[in-house]
Each structure stands twice: as C-alpha cells, then as structure tokens.
C-alpha cells in the first residue's frame, strides 16, 4: 500500500473542501473495497478523507410520499434489516442480503456500495493493461479470460461489469442519489448515476471527484408484494453474480400494471430496458409475455467467448424472475433452490 | 495482554515499529482503542490495518491473516460488537471503537466462552487457522439473532472459509450454543464483567 495522509473532517462542507483541488484524494467510509484496491496498488490515493463519522448521514429517515431516505453511511446490514426497508422495499432488503458476507455488510456503507469498482481480473492485476485502471493501456479481457464479463453495453475500451447487488434493486426501484459538492447539493436519478464505459471506462459514475454521496432516496413504495431478486453465481453464497435479476411488478388483478426489470452482472451498470418493461404493461403474467420481455432485454447482447453462456442464462433468469414476482414468491436468499 | 506469554519476534524489539503512548513519529496519528476491555492510547500510521496493528504491534496473534483481502474471514473481530474483517479496516478509522478479538472472549477468570467450549466439544476445527475468525463470527451471529436454522447459520457463516472442511461441526457448535440460550445470555454478562474488571 502506498503512503498517504489522512483527514477526518467534521462536516460535509469540510469533506468537500478536502477533496476539491486534490484529484489524488479519495473518500473512505467502510473501506471494504478501497482498502482492498489499495493493497493491490490499483488505487493509490495520496490523501484519504474519512467520512465515516460525518453527522447526519448515518440514519434512515422518512422521505416524500411514504418513501425513505437512506443515509450514505448506513451500513448494508442496517439497511437490509431495517423494519421500514423490509416492509416498504423488500426487494432492496433481499438484494442486499444476496451480496457479500455478514462481516462485509457490517462494514460496507450505502454510499460505498454505489461506488464499488468492478471485479474484472485485469482491473485488479496491475501487471496487465486495463483501460479502466490506466486509460489508454488496452483491454485484455476482450480476448482473455472473460467469463464474468459484460454482454450488454460494452465498448471497445472495456467489458467490465458493475458488481453490486444492492444497486440492481435500487435501479428497479428508481432511487435518487443525493450528493454534495462545492456548488451545493444535487440529485441524480439512479439510471444516470452509473455510466456505460464508452471511451472513458475509468469513470464508473457521474459523481464528480469533489462530490460525496449524502443519501439514497427511495420514492413512494409500490412493490411490496410482487418482487424478487434472483442471483445466479458460481457458489451458493458469498460470490458475485454471473447474472442477477431484480423484478418489481404492480399488479391490477390479473394484469401487470407496472413492471421494472433490472439486471446485474451483465453490464457496466445495472441494466434496464424501458421498452421491455413497456411490453408487459397491461398484459397478463404468462410465459409468452415474459419471453417477449426477456428477448427485448437481451436484444443486441454480445458475448466474448467465455461469457457467451450469460446471454441464455440471463434470458432464462429474466423469465424465471418475472414468474417469481408475478406469483408473489420471491427468491429466498437462504434457501437457494430456485422455484 | 501482559498475561499472555508470547514469544517476541526474532531480531526485532516487540515495539520496533510501534510506540504506544510515546510521541508520534511523522505521519502517525493518535487513536484510542479499547481492545479486549483495555483502553489504549496508541499512535498509528494511517495505512496500518487493524489486523496488522493487533498482530504486529500489539502481539495479539490470535487474529489470523488469511487472504488479507476480505475473502476468507480468518481476521474476523468484533468492532463495537459487530463482526468485521480486520484486514480491510484501517486502524486509524476505528478511533474510539471497542475491539474484541479471540483473546478477549474468555471470562475474567479465564473461563472459556461458551462458543469456544462448543467448538472443542463438537470438534469444529482441524488445523485451527480459521478458528479464531470462525468463533468471533459465530459469537456475533448468535447476538445478531437473525439466523436460527442450520441453513440460515450456513448462510450467515459464509464469510468464514474453512479449508479443512469442518463446516458441519461448526454449524453443530453454533446450534449447541443457541440451544443453551440462557448460557449465551450468561456469556454476554461474562464479557461485560470482564470489561468492568479491566477498567
């Protein structure tokens, strides 16, 4: 690990000041991803700004229209087991508990989960080129070991995936990320928070280098009954998703009134296709409609060899997840048998 | 831990890289940590992990370094009562926290923690390298109260790898402690008494 200086500012404004004008500074909260990356020399900050004790960001508060505001410093554990989260956004609680281990969820924060970086082997290995780690150096994943890599939204520069489970649920729930910077606060719709790699794969998000996350704001709860988070991975627990699907449905009798489908493990950001969701609106929850939605989501999917299987896996996972949600039988995160 | 008779590292003074209580070297930051009930004023370099502080500077070798990347759970300790990977925690960020390691679980009179007893009783280890992390994790699991069934325990212990494969007996040990709810409550009181005695 490289050497660095350390500051523990007492306010959000002071934290932003620590970051402004110092591009080599990094924010640390739980540290579960950053410290790991520093040990691999992937991240080499010269200054760490510890925000873990900033006042006002550690709680879950009532939001607008029955929504919730989850402070950036709320641990993944605290969010997942919060009674209000469980009652209003069971999809979110389920997705959080599908990720990492209890130890990591105790340390990891809501804001940090959003900002965690890809687990691409080449990104982590500083002996290899990687456009995300060293812009312009190349992407060995495209012709290399790419079993865990993206099949949607890739670019010539990067085929990495975003590793979060929590963010897949937040995308489906259309959360809003509230951030603070030198110019004050702004709100970023979840779909605009994470980026596709394009020709700037070093930028995972639209968060400014001198901005910090304040909260994740959840809108009016609408998906308490018909939801699921289906995660498929190489081991039954404590592994990143090969493919995951968050589904939230609003049913009107036997008809789907609203559908949200977000995929994890397949792209540089949680993957949503509004056109596929529109295909389900006003339709009955039957297999042919689910197949049509899945086909639309996977339209244009491209494998790179080892990850070709993800295209069919994702198609089937979407169909299965839609059925689980429509039936009101969400995937258990303990009993991993898929019904 | 003055009561532990541990060898010092060959060729190094025990506090070669660390001087608790003394004036700080450049780059060192004063922190206060309560470790196993004992409040300590320390100076740490910001890049020192809690795991390295415990093992290299405080000679608390019970907490193990396995992968050093948060993947194996061997370094699990309790930070303010919550289980966490000490390898991914910079010590400076834990200023003011209470840390409990495997060395701090036993009673003030040296009585083993119920979970330690249960691991012995159920033969829940072979080589023992993952065991301190397993036990710290298991103690937290019981206190959390979320996992009840064997299946839930397995899921909630997934952050602790055991390459000897003692998993079956580890689950048995945890279930045994859970079944002795009264005993587990006594354990918490045990820890509190120890904290009290250390003040």
The pLDDT confidence band at residue B27, using thresholds 50, 70 and 90, is confident
DSSP A177-193: EEEEETTEEEEEEHHHH
Over residues A278-305, the mean pLDDT reads 98
Only one residue has tokens 């993952």, namely B130
CA distance A337 to chain B (A): 12
Query: What phi and psi, each to the nearest 5 degrees, are found at residue B3?
Result: -80, -5
Task: Let me know whether B40 and B60 are in one domain.
Answer: yes
pLDDT for position B188: 53
Is the Cβ pair B88, A333 closer than 8 Å? no
Percent of chain A with pLDDT strictly greater than 90: 99
Question: CATH number for the domain including A273?
Answer: 3.30.390.50
Task: Let me know whether B134 and B84 are in one domain.
Answer: no
- Choose one of B39, B74, B104: the last residue of a domain: B104
Q: Which of A14-23, A25-34, A126-135, B17-26 has the lowest mean pLDDT?
A: B17-26
- Choose one of A53, A72, A87: the last residue of a domain: A53
Please name the residues in contact with A85: beta carbons below 8 A apart, sequence gap of 6 or more.
A60, A68, A70, A79, A92, A93
Q: Is residue A279 part of a domain?
A: yes
Question: CATH number for the domain including B60?
Answer: 3.10.20.30
pLDDT for position A321: 98
Q: How many domains does chain B have?
A: 2
pLDDT for A126 beyond 70: yes
Q: Is residue B21 part of a domain?
A: no
Report chain A residues whose CB lies below 8 A from the CB of B47: 1-4, 38
Instruction: Name the H helices within A65-108.
Output: 76-81, 83-88, 90-97, 102-107
pLDDT for B199 beyond 50: no
Give yes or no for a contact between B112 and B57, defined as CB atoms under 8 angstroms apart. no
Task: Let me know whether B99 and B129 are in one domain.
Answer: no
CA distance A68 to chain B (A): 23
The pLDDT confidence band at residue B25, using thresholds 50, 70 and 90, is low
Q: What is the dihedral of CA A261, A231, A67, A162, to 10 degrees?
A: -80
Is the Cβ pair B155, A3 closer than 8 Å? no
Question: CATH number for the domain including B191?
Answer: 1.10.150.120
**Chain segment A207-254, per-residue pLDDT in tens:** 999 999 999 999 999 999 999 999 999 999 999 999 999 999 999 999
Task: Let me know whether B123 and B178 are in one domain.
Answer: yes
pLDDT for A258 beyond 80: yes
Task: Let me know whether B77 and B119 are in one domain.
Answer: no
Task: Closest CB to A334: pick one of B69, B137, B155.
Answer: B155
Structural domain span for residue B136: 114-198
Q: How many domains does chain A have?
A: 2
Task: Let me know whether B118 and B172 are in one domain.
Answer: yes
pLDDT for position B7: 39
- Choose one of B39, B73, B104: the last residue of a domain: B104
Task: Let me know whether B118 and B190 are in one domain.
Answer: yes
Task: Let me know whether B193 and B131 are in one domain.
Answer: yes
- Choose one of B104, B129, B152: the last residue of a domain: B104
Question: CATH number for the domain including A43?
Answer: 3.30.43.10
Interface predicted TM-score of the whole assembly (ipTM), two decimals: 0.97
Residues of B near A (Cβ–Cβ under 8 Å) read: 27, 29, 46-47, 49, 68-70, 73, 76, 79, 82-85, 87-90, 92-93, 95, 137, 140-141, 144, 146, 149, 151-152, 154-156, 158-160
Over residues A292-301, the mean pLDDT reads 98
Task: Let me know whether B130 and B68 are in one domain.
Answer: no
pLDDT for position A136: 98
Structural domain span for residue A22: 5-53
Task: Let me know whether B121 and B180 are in one domain.
Answer: yes
Report which of B33, B7, B159 is spatially closest to residue A237, judged by C-alpha positions: B159
**Chain segment A47-93, per-residue pLDDT in tens:** 999 999 999 999 999 999 999 999 999 999 999 999 999 999 999 99
Report which of B151, B121, B115, B152 is spatially closest to residue B134, judged by C-alpha positions: B115
**Chain segment A2-30, per-residue pLDDT in tens:** 999 999 999 999 999 999 989 999 999 99
**Mean pLDDT taken over chain B:** 86
Q: Is residue A184 part of a domain?
A: no
Q: Is residue A268 part of a domain?
A: yes
The pLDDT confidence band at residue B13, using thresholds 50, 70 and 90, is very low
pLDDT for A36 beyond 70: yes
Which has more pLDDT, B185 or A143?
A143
Report chain B residues whose CB lies below 8 A from the CB of A41: none
Output DSSP code: residue B85. Answer: E
Report chain A residues whose CB lies below 8 A from the CB of B49: 35
pLDDT for B190 beyond 60: no
Over residues A43-47, the mean pLDDT reads 96
Q: Is residue A159 part of a domain?
A: no
CA distance A85 to chain B (A): 16
Task: Let me know whether B98 and B121 are in one domain.
Answer: no
pLDDT for position B5: 43
**What three-state secondary structure class fits A4?**
coil
Task: Let me know whether B121 and B192 are in one domain.
Answer: yes
**Chain segment B143-184, per-residue pLDDT in tens:** 999 999 999 999 999 999 999 999 999 999 999 999 998 454
Q: Is residue A98 part of a domain?
A: no
Measured between CB atoms, does A39 come within 8 Å of chain B? yes
């Amino acid at each position: 690990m490289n050497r660095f200086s350390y500051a523990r500012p007492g306010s959000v404004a002071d934290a932003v000041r620590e970051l402004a004008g110092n591009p080599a500074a990094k924010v640390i909260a739980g540290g579960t991803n950053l410290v790991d990356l520093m040990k691999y020399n992937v991240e080499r900050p010269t200054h760490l700004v510890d925000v873990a004790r900033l006042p006002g960001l550690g709680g879950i508060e009532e939001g607008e229209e029955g929504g919730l505001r989850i402070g950036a410093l709320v641990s993944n554990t605290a969010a997942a087991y919060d009674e209000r989260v469980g009652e209003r956004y069971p999809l979110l609680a389920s997705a959080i508990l599908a990720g990492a281990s209890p130890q990591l969820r105790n340390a990891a924060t809501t804001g940090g989960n959003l900002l965690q970086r890809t687990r691409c082997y080449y990104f982590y290995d500083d002996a290899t080129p990687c456009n995300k780690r060293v812009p312009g150096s190349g992407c060995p994943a495209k012709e290399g070991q790419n079993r865990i890599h993206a099949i949607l939204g890739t670019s010539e520069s990067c085929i990495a995936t975003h590793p979060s489970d929590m963010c897949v649920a937040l995308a489906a729930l259309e959360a809003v990320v509230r951030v603070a910077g030198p110019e004050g606060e702004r709100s970023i719709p979840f779909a605009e928070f994470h980026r596709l790699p394009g020709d700037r794969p070093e930028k995972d998000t639209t968060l400014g280098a001198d901005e910090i996350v304040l909260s994740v704001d959840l809108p009016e709860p609408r998906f308490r009954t018909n939801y699921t988070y289906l995660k498929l991975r190489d081991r039954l627990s404590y592994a990143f998703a090969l493919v995951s699907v968050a589904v939230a449905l609003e049913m009107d009798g036997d008809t789907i009134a609203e559908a949200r489908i977000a995929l994890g493990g397949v792209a540089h950001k949680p993957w949503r296709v509004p056109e596929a969701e529109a295909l389900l609106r006003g339709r009955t929850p039957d297999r042919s409609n689910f197949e049509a939605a899945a086909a639309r989501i996977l339209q244009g999917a491209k494998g790179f060899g080892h990850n070709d299987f993800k295209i069919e896996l994702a198609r089937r996972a979407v169909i299965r997840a839609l059925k689980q949600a429509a039936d009101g039988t969400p995937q258990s995160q303990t009993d991993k048998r898929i019904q | 831990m003055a009561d532990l008779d541990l060898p010092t590292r060959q060729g190094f003074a025990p506090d070669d890289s660390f001087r608790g209580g003394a004036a700080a070297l450049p780059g060192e930051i004063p922190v206060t940590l309560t470790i196993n009930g004992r409040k300590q004023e320390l100076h740490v370099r910001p890049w020192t992990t809690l795991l390295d502080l415990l093992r290299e500077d405080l000679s608390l070798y019970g907490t193990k370094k396995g992968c050093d990347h948060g993947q194996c759970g061997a370094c699990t300790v309790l930070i303010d009562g919550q289980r966490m990977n000490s390898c991914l925690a910079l010590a400076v960020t834990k200023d003011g926290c209470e840390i409990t390691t495997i060395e701090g679980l036993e009673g003030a009179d040296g009585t083993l923690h119920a979970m330690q007893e249960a691991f012995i009783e159920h033969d829940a280890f072979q080589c023992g390298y993952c065991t301190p992390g397993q036990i710290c994790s298991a103690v937290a699991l019981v206190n959390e109260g979320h996992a009840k069934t064997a299946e839930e325990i397995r899921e909630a212990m997934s952050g602790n790898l055991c390459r000897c494969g003692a998993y079956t007996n580890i689950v048995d040990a945890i279930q045994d402690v859970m079944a002795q709810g009264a005993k587990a409550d006594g354990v918490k009181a045990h820890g509190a008494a120890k904290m009290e005695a250390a003040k």
